[in-house]
Amino acid sequence: MMNRIANWTQDDLRKDVPSFGPGDTVSVWVRVVEGDKERLQAFQGTVIGRRAGGLDETFTVRKVSMGVGVERIFPLHSPTIARIDVLRRGHVRRAKLTYLRGLKGKKARIREKARTTVPSKGVRNDEMAAATEE
CA 57 – CA 77 distance, rounded (Å): 7
Please tell me the predicted confidence (pLDDT) of residue 42.
95
Please tell me the predicted confidence (pLDDT) of residue 91.
93
Percent of the chain at pLDDT exceeding 70: 84
State pLDDT tens for residues 100-126: 999 888 888 888 888 766 555 555 555
CA 118 – CA 97 distance, rounded (Å): 30
DSSP string, 46-96: EEEEEE--GGG-EEEEEEEETTEEEEEEEETT-TTEEEEEEEE-B--S-S-
